[in-house]
Every structure is written in structure tokens, then in C-alpha cells.
Structure 1
Amino acid sequence: MDLTVQDIVLHLTANIELPEKTVDQLITGSLDRKVTGIIIAFMPTHYVIEQAIQHGANLIIAHESPFYNHHSHTDWLANDSVYVDKRKLIDEAGICIYRCHDIIHRFQPDGITEGLIQALGWSSYVEQRLPEADILSFPEGSTVEAIAHHVKSCLGIEYVRVAGNAELVCRRAAVLVGFRGNGPVTIPLIQNEQLDLIIAGEGFEWETPEYIRDAVQQGKSKALIMMGHAESEASGMKLLADRLGERFPELSVRFVGEKPLYTVI
């Protein structure tokens, strides 16, 4: 049986209550198009689109928008050459791009957080799953430095950023993916859950990092590891690719990752 984009979307959204102003939508293409293959990605970059074309896939399911803003608006890009060239590539190849952001964060448990926890091999450490974070209890003797090296090794990334004392022995931590690393989210968790460590994707640098700096200057044992936004969420999209591949064995479903966006010089 031929599967359409609509069939895949209905599967993704089954039993999911999306917010009124969801960003999840078909951004390019049409819902009635027959699916020839699926590419799953964190970000539908130019490279990811080229990979879809190379593998004969005409549906990209991506966590973030292809067009550099959360709501996928393009009016402000109409005369921008980077946007024009990217859109031309998409349209000429007949690529459908579906945004899967709010959906996967509403899986039970959160699909992005679950993918990261599995990639890090920390499933047995999870004490509690909250909407915004997983609370972990680490084995005795785990230092922030060792945890940071473990994150780098498991995710295949060259660096993370650490605030606070890297030699701190960590007992309890919270893992927050994407842009959940901001102070209004992390600071109440630190207090309410008696955390030693925050492990997050990213957040405003003047909030959680500065809170950690003040805490350390006051003699409190606190630390922060920032992984990067994509680095914290790509594993969740890879997990989605594995699950869609099992659900639709008649289709080629591939996860396409990107190199880290930044290099340290």
C-alpha cells in the first residue's frame, strides 16, 4: 500500500494534543504526496536536503525549522540569497518538510529527552521524569569532569562548556534538552530537587551560568554542563527514526546527523 505524507503525520500525531499555536506543520510539499523515503534530522540543513535527494527520499521530518526562525516565517527572507537557493533546492526536488517539534516533546516520556538519556546510557540513573527535565542519581564518586567527558564520548562531540567546580562529586543532576537551560527552569529545580549539577542544551548565558557562578562564590557545591542545542536533541530524533523504521518497514527511514555547528579555535 502506498503511504502518503498524511499517513505519516497521522501516525506521529496519534494521541497527541498539540498546543493551539503549534509550530508543527508541513512547511513544504503536500500531504497527499506519496512517500518514497523518509529522512529524519534535527535540523533540515542544505546538507540534509542533499542527502534526502541522494537517497531518493522525499519526506524530511525535522525537529527545527529550515528557515532560521521558530515559526518558519519566510516573508523577511524573500530577497535573501541563502534562503532563495535553499528553497529552490527543496522545490525542484519535490521535498516535503514536516516539523516535528511539539509532537515529540509531548511523547510519554518526552521523546527528545528519552533519546538523549538512552544515548548517554543513563536510563538506570533516572529517578523522576518531569515535563521539563529528567532527574538523575549518579553512582557514588561521579565527578562533573568525568560526567562531561562521558557526554563528549557518547555524543561524539569535541567539547562541552562547564561552569562551577569540575572536580565536584555529583550525586543528583537534572538533564534538560534544547533551550530549557534558562534560569526560570533550572534554578527552581536546583533548589526543589537538591541538585548538584545541571546538564542542559543551551540557555541565556546571563541566567543559569551566572547563578552557578554566584553559588560557587558563596561556597555552595553547584555546577553546570552545557552541551549545545543540537547536541542535546539530535539523539531524540535518531530514536524517532528507529521507531518509524520499525513501524513502516516498507519505507527507507534514515537519520541524518550534522557535524557540530561550532568549532573551538
Structure 2
Amino acid sequence: MMITFSTVIDWLTDGIPVPEQTVDRLETGIPETEVRGIVTAFTASQYVIEQAAALGANLVISHEGIYYSHHDQRDWLGQDPVYRQKSALIAGTETGIYRFHDYIHRYTPDGITEGLIAELGWLEYVEEHRPAVSVLTLPPAPLREIAEYVKRKLQISYVRAAGDLSGSCSRIGILAGYRGGGQLVIPLYGEEGLDLIIAGEGPEWETPEYVRDALQQGRSKALIMLGHAESEAPGMKQLAERLAAQFPAVPVRYIPERPVFEVI
């Protein structure tokens, strides 16, 4: 049986209710195109598209959007030279790009969060998966030690930590992506008895300021922010492994992107 873009997309979304106002769609390409190779990535960056073409892959599965906007609003880019060159690259390579954001976050457990936990080697410590957070109980360890471990496992040069670096942490909540906001995170400390939240990112005037005040009051609360891409890329790496198992006749590769920020 010929494997097409539609074959892969149908498998990815099978059994998941269609999310309301979803951004997930085949942004470029024709559904009936035969798949020659698949690349997964956090985002379909210029580099990722170039690498996919070099590998002979014609389907890129991207968690985030192509053109610097969650809702694919590109009218404002107009004649921007970066936008035009990237668009020309996509057209020239005839690359199909499928935006896979909302569906994977609705997997049970969340496919992006599960990938992060697996990369950290913590699946055995999971107590509960919820739609937005996974709760774990780890062997107690100082915040600094956990932060260094996370950096090493994710192969990233830095994380941002708030709290007493020597304070012991065991009960942990993990929230991938942009889920570090106060309304979601702050209640978890009390309701779940959490010592530490590990999140991708969130408004800096919310959860980080709560942790600052908690410390001033002598309360033990801690926070590690990984970065949005750093927290979600492992989920797309895991997705490549699952696609390879499902479609063994199709070459599948996960393309890691270089960090966009450098610490100076």
C-alpha cells in the first residue's frame, strides 16, 4: 500500500476528537503525495527544511508554525526577505509541512509532556498524568542537583532556576511549553504539595514572583524554566520513534535544532 501524507496524518490523529479552532493542518503540500521520508522537529525552521531536503524527506511534521505566528498569520510579513526566501525554499523542494500541535497535546498522556519525561528518564516516577501537568515523586535531591541533571539529560547549556538551590525537592510537577503561568501553576504547589515546578516558559511576573515571595516568607517553593523549545522538542523526538515503528518502510528522522539563544 502506498503511504501518502494523508496516511500519516490519519494515523497521527486517529481516535482524537477534533480540537476546536485547531491550528493543525497540512500547511504545504498535497494530501495524496507519496511519502519518501519523514522529518519531525519542534519547528520547521530554515535549517530543518534544508536538512529534510538533503535527506530526501518530503514530509516535515512540525510542532510549531512555519512563519513566526501561532495562528499562521502571515499577511504582515509582506515582502520581508526572510519570509520570501523561506517560502521559496519550501516551494522549490516541494516539501509538505504538517503542523502537529493541538492533537499531540490531546494524546493521553500528552505526547509532548510524555516525551520530555521519557528524555529525563523519569517515567517510573510518574504518579498522575493530567491534560496540562504530570505529577511525579522523585528521590529527594537538592534543586541545584536536579537542575544540573536536567541540563545533562536534555543536552542544553542552561536552565533558569528560582528557589533555594540547596533545598530538597521530591514532589515535582512537569508542564511542557507555555504552561508556566500563575493561574495554572501556583495552585499546584498547594493542591499537590509540590516542591518544584519544571515548565517550558510563562510570564515572568507571575510564577517566578510567587516563588520569590514564598522564599521571603520562609516557604520552600522552587521553579525551573527550561525554555519553550527545550521542553517540547523531546516530544517530537519521541514521535519520530513511534512513526518509524508504525511505518518501517519509510525513513524517519528527528532533526534537532540548534539553540536560538546563547548565554553571554
Same-fold call, TM cutoff 0.5:
yes
Letter in 1 for 2:77: L
Distance in 2, Cα, partners of 1:204 & 1:66: 23
Aligned-pair distance for 1:51? 0.5
Decide which moves more: 27-36 or 173-182: 27-36
- Aligned match of 1:233: 232
Contact 2:63–2:99 (CA<8 Å) still a contact in 1? yes
**Partners of 2:137 and 2:183 in 1: CA distance:** 22
* Structure 1 Cα separation of the partners of residues 174 and 259 of structure 2: 20
Is residue 181–residue 207 contact of structure 2 (8 Å, CA) maintained in 1?
Answer: yes
1:7-18 matches, cutoff 5 A: 7-18=7-18
Unaligned stretches of 5+ residues in structure 2: none
Contact 2:129 2:135 in 1 (8 A): yes
Q: Does 2:185 match 1:183?
A: no
Q: Give the root-mean-square deviation of aligned CA atoms.
A: 0.8
The answer as to 2:221 corresponding to 1:222 is: yes
Structure-to-structure mapping, 1:1-265, within 5 angstroms: 1-140=1-140, 142-265=141-264
Higher strand proportion, which one? 2
- The TM-score with structure 1 as length reference comes to 0.98
Note the C-alpha offset of 1:90. 0.2
1: distance between equivalents of 2:149 and 2:19? 35
1:72 to partner: Cα distance: 1.2
CA shift, 1:214, in A, is 0.6
Whichever residue aligns with residue 7 of structure 2, its letter is D
CA displacement, residues 20-74 of structure 1 (integer Å, 9 cap, x when unaligned): 2001011111111111110000111100000011011110001000100001122
The answer for unaligned runs of 5 or more in structure 1 is none
**CA separation in 2, counterparts of 1:20 and 1:234?**
24
3-state SS, counterpart of residue 11 of structure 1: helix
Q: Tell me by how many angstroms 1:198 deviates.
A: 0.7
User: 1:195-230 deviations in whole A, cap 9, x for unaligned?
Assistant: 111110000111110010011011100111001111
Q: 1:211, 1:162 → 2: CA distance?
A: 13
The alpha carbon displacement at 1:77 in A equals: 1.2
1:18, CA displacement in angstroms?
2.3
Counterpart code for 2:79? N
TM normalised by structure 2 equals: 0.98
Amino acid at match of 1:178: G
Measured against aligned partners, the alpha-carbon deviations of 1:174-203 in whole angstroms (never above 9, x if no partner) come to: 011000011111011111101111110000
Identity %: 53
Kept in 1: contact 2:77–2:83 (CA 8 A): yes
Q: Partners in 1 of 2:251 and 2:204 — Cα distance?
A: 40
CA contact (8 A) 1:27 1:72 kept: no
Q: CA deviation at 1:11?
A: 0.6
> 1:129-178: per-residue Cα shift (whole Å, max 9, x none)?
111111111113x1111110010000000100011111110121101100
Contact 2:25-2:98 within 8 A present in 1 as well = yes
